[in-house]
Amino acid sequence: MSDNLENQFMMMMKMNKYRNKKVKVSGLTFDSKREYQRWRSLLFMEKSGLIEDLKRQVSFDLIPTLKYNGKTLRKIIYKADFTYFENGKLIVEDSKGFQTPEFKIKHRLFLIKYPDHEFRIT
> Looking at the domain assignment, is residue 112 inside a domain?
yes
Owning domain of residue 29:
18-121
What's the structural domain count of the chain? Answer: 1
pLDDT in tens, the chain (122 residues): 455 655 554 444 444 555 667 777 778 888 888 888 999 999 999 999 999 999 999 999 999 999 999 999 999 999 999 999 999 999 999 988 778 899 999 999 999 999 999 999 98
Confirm whether 8 is domain-assigned: no
The pTM of this model reads: 0.75
7 occurs within a structural domain: no
Query: HEC profile for the chain?
Result: CCHHHHHHHHHHHHCCCCCCCCEEECCEEECCHHHHHHHHHHHHHHHCCCCEEEEEEEEEEEECCEEECCEEECCEEEEEEEEEEECCEEEEEECCCCCCHHHHHHHHHHHHHCCCCEEEEC
The predicted structure's pLDDT at residue 49: 96
User: Is 13 inside a domain boundary?
Assistant: no
